[in-house]
Amino acid sequence: MKRTDLLTKKSKRRGRNSPIPFRGWLVICISLMILFLSPILSSLLHSVKTPKDSASSPPAYIPPTFSFENYRALATSSNGLISNGIHVYIGNSLILATLTVLGTLFLATLGGYGFARFNFKGKEIYFAVILLMIMVPFQALLTPIYFLFSQIELQNSLIGLSLIYITYQLPFSIFLMRNTFVVIPRELGEAAMVDGCSPFKVFRSVMLPLSRPGIISVALFAFFASWNEFIAALSMISVQEKYPLPVVLTLLSDRQLGSLNFGLLQAGVVVTMIPCITLFVVLQKYYVSGLISGGVKS
Amino acid sequence: MKTRTSKQTGFWFILPAMVFVLLFFIFPLIAVLIMSMTNFPLLGEVEYVGLQNYTDMIGDTEFHQTIIQTLIYTVLVTPPLFFVGLGMALLIRKTNKLSSFFRTFFFMPIVIGFGSAAFLWYWLLDPGTGYIPQLLRDLGFGAMDKPILGYMPGALLAVILMVVWKFSSFQMILLMAAMQGIDPEVMESSEMDGAVKWKQLRYITLPLIKRTLGMVFILSIAGSLLAFDQFYIMTSGGPTGQTETMVFYVWRQAFRSFNLGSAAAMSVAISIALLLVSLIQVRFINEKD
């Protein structure tokens, strides 16, 4: 009797809408958490085995001896799979991400503000074009983009690739910034205008500082998009020195003498995913709010 | 007093973005239409061929096969994505500390790219060193020495499993946000009427988030129709092309065989299909909850 009393009490604490008792809820959530986390943890564990252990079949779940040898092998070209140390490719990914984040922020804050606060000739048409961008899949435009880039020597260029990423981040980012600016009271800008500020000064000194959450969300999504993008990078870049990390993984998964070095590959996977996971854990709030305000309400 | 805002001020703000859109969206969009009506060799004369590429496409049985395979994948992956996402949204929709703690972990696979996730699972499923075959062996399911990614339907099901792991929490966030937006009084009054839980879900919660449900559904369909990374990495389209998707085939035509003209025609076809799917999405967005 007492036990059931306790259970109902606990389930009450979780709110009255819960269809299952607290303890059951906890068990389900913990199981799901283990399911979602275990592939990531497995990859991490496999990457810190000795090369011998990471090639052994059947595998040990927990590394018998911890070793950073797979990571050391990534640092140079001695593994025979990549012609540079991994730092070169991390650098490529960082250049790509920096260009994409800065470019997207610049264009999307200005554009979002323009759409949020002004009426001008052709506004509906420009807005419709942005909507059209969401509908036409960017994969379908890779062929002409590749051709156009080959005409102006932009293939095999990280700058060229970042221009594509920036452009296709714009619809989501402009919507998100527009939704951010719309809720800032108009009076704040108008007061500054009366003081003689130009529209751009109002934007820069009054509006931008007030829209920090939106700006962080836009930056975060631009980072993830450029860091993780695969098909365009694979298609546009054919010089190994310029490969970003996801494409480098295709090199690490090449077979040598018929066998694949899974320990090395998982070390590469860990290097690629850790920055994303870290940024997400720190800035989670902005990820969720950005997704909701750029996705649902637009 | 004369304001310093002219009729064109707003235009100047959106101009930089529109320049990018013009250069890297409008131009390629026009180019793909032109290319689709030419024989487009990388070197040599470009020749106008009319609708030849389109008629070739209609007779291209290999392309048809990849369309069918993409549709099968889409039909199979959408329900588990949706139900897992919905289930998790119901579990953690409360705004308390414990819910948001679990939410963090459920989310985590989203921020890992499809590329890294696919390479992770490629190893995880390896019959020799992967943990999943080993786990199944430990649980007594037999030798598990057949590479699951080398056989049908194992290869397709394995990719679907990876995608559900990677992507269902995306659906969860959107559904959860919609549920949190429901007026709590509506829920409370339905409880006073003695509504049974699943009836409350069926007749009150779900109808109230109808718009988001539709959107999540369309997003998943559109995303699946464009699948590439996970198949390129995990199965290379195999075994014997049985998991090659539409985008994969077009990509191969363009970037491996350099048949740019026919790749462009197929790109146009895929765009029109996706445009139709997205128009349904716009209907959902305009519809009131």
What does the pLDDT look like over A88-106, one tens digit per residue? Answer: 999 999 999 999 999 999 9
CB nearest to B254's CB, from A113, A143, A224: A143
CB nearest to B111's CB, from A245, A277, A292: A277
Distance CA(A187)–CA(A166), nearest Å, equals 32
Q: What is the pTM of this model?
A: 0.91
Assess if residue B149 is contained within a domain. no
**Whether B31 and A144 lie within 8 Å, measured CB to CB:** yes
Percent of the residues in chain A that have a pLDDT greater than 70, as a whole number: 92
Mutate to test the interface with A, among B7, B105, B161, B202 (most CBs of A within 10 A): B105
Cβ of residue B91 closer than 8 Å to a chain A Cβ: yes
Average of per-residue pLDDT across A166-174: 95
Percent of the residues in chain B that have a pLDDT greater than 70, as a whole number: 94
Cβ–Cβ < 8 Å for A233, B251: no
End-to-end Cα separation, chain A, in angstroms: 52
**Whether A144 and B32 lie within 8 Å, measured CB to CB:** yes
Burial, B125: exposed, middle or buried (Cβ in 10 Å; 0-12, 13-18, 19+)?
buried
Q: List Cβ neighbours of A87 (8 Å cut-off, separation of 6 or more).
A: A75
Distance CA(B112)–CA(A41), nearest Å, equals 13
Assess if residue B157 is contained within a domain. no
The whole-angstrom distance between A262's CA and the closest CA on chain B is: 6
Written as one string, the DSSP assignment of A185-222 is -HHHHHHHHHTT--HHHIIIIIIHHHTHHHHHHHHHHH
| pLDDT surpasses 80 at B166 | yes
Assess if residue B193 is contained within a domain. yes
> In the prediction, which pLDDT does B206 show?
86
For chain B, give the mean pLDDT: 89
Q: List Cβ neighbours of B180 (8 Å cut-off, separation of 6 or more).
A: B93, B95
**A19 interaction partners in chain B (CB closer than 8 Å):** 197-198
Average of per-residue pLDDT across B30-54: 87
| Strand, coil or helix: A52 | helix
User: Which range is least confidently modeled, A20-34, A45-59, A67-81, B202-216?
Assistant: B202-216
For chain A, give the mean pLDDT: 89
| pLDDT surpasses 50 at B40 | yes
Segment A209-223, tens digit of pLDDT: 999 999 999 999 999
> In the prediction, which pLDDT does A6 show?
44
Q: Report the candidate in B73, B91, B124 with the shortest Cα–Cα distance to residue B228.
A: B73
Q: Report the candidate in A189, A171, A175 with the shortest Cα–Cα distance to residue A293.
A: A175
| pLDDT surpasses 50 at A238 | yes
Mutate to test the interface with A, among B37, B116, B279 (most CBs of A within 10 A): B116
Most confident of A67-76, A287-296, B90-99, B272-281: A67-76
Segment A250-275, tens digit of pLDDT: 999 988 877 889 999 999 999 999 99
Assess if residue B125 is contained within a domain. no
User: Which range is least confidently modeled, A96-100, A142-146, B2-6, B84-88?
Assistant: B2-6
Q: Report the candidate in B149, B115, B110 with the shortest Cα–Cα distance to residue B132.
A: B149
Q: How confident is the model at residue A281 (pLDDT cuts 50, 70, 90)?
A: very high
Can you give the CATH number for the domain in which B248 is found? 1.10.3720.10
Give the ipTM of the model, two decimals please: 0.91
| pLDDT surpasses 50 at B1 | no
> In the prediction, which pLDDT does A8 show?
45
List, in sequence order, every residue forming a beta bridge with B38; answer none if it has no partner: B48
Assess if residue B264 is contained within a domain. no
**Tally of domains within chain B:** 1
Query: DSSP assignment, residue A141?
Result: G
A86-296 CATH fold? MetI-like fold (1.10.3720)
**B174 interaction partners in chain A (CB closer than 8 Å):** 291-292, 295-296
Most confident of B20-29, B45-54, B278-287: B20-29
CB nearest to A148's CB, from B12, B27, B285: B27
The CA-atom distances, in angstroms, between B131 and each of A228, A274, B69 are: 24, 20, 28
Q: SS3 string of chain B? A: CCCCCCCCHHHHHHHHHHHHHHHHHHHHHHHHHHHCCEECCCCCCCEECCCHHHHHHHHCHHHHHHHHHHHHHHHHHHHHHHHHHHHHHHHCCCCCHHHHHHHHHHHHHHHCCHHHHHHHHHHHCCCCCCHHHHHHHHCCCCCCCCCHHHCCCHHHHHHHHHHHHHHHHHHHHHHHHHHHCCCHHHHHHHHHCCCCHHHHHHHHHHHHCHHHHHHHHHHHHHHHHCCCHHHHHHCCCCCCCCCCCHHHHHHHHHHCCCCHHHHHHHHHHHHHHHHHHHHHHHHHHHCCC
Distance CA(B274)–CA(B276), nearest Å, equals 5
Average of per-residue pLDDT across A109-129: 94
**What is the chain B residue with the closest CA to A227?**
B113
**A108 interaction partners in chain B (CB closer than 8 Å):** 17
Segment B234-288, tens digit of pLDDT: 999 989 999 999 999 999 999 999 899 999 999 999 999 999 988 877 776 666 5
Segment A2-28, tens digit of pLDDT: 444 444 444 444 444 556 788 889 999
> In the prediction, which pLDDT does B239 show?
92
**Whether A246 and B14 lie within 8 Å, measured CB to CB:** no
Instruction: Say how far residue B148 (Cα) sits from the centre of its chain.
Output: 23
Domain enclosing residue B181, as ranges: 60-112+168-257
Query: DSSP assignment, residue A79?
Result: G
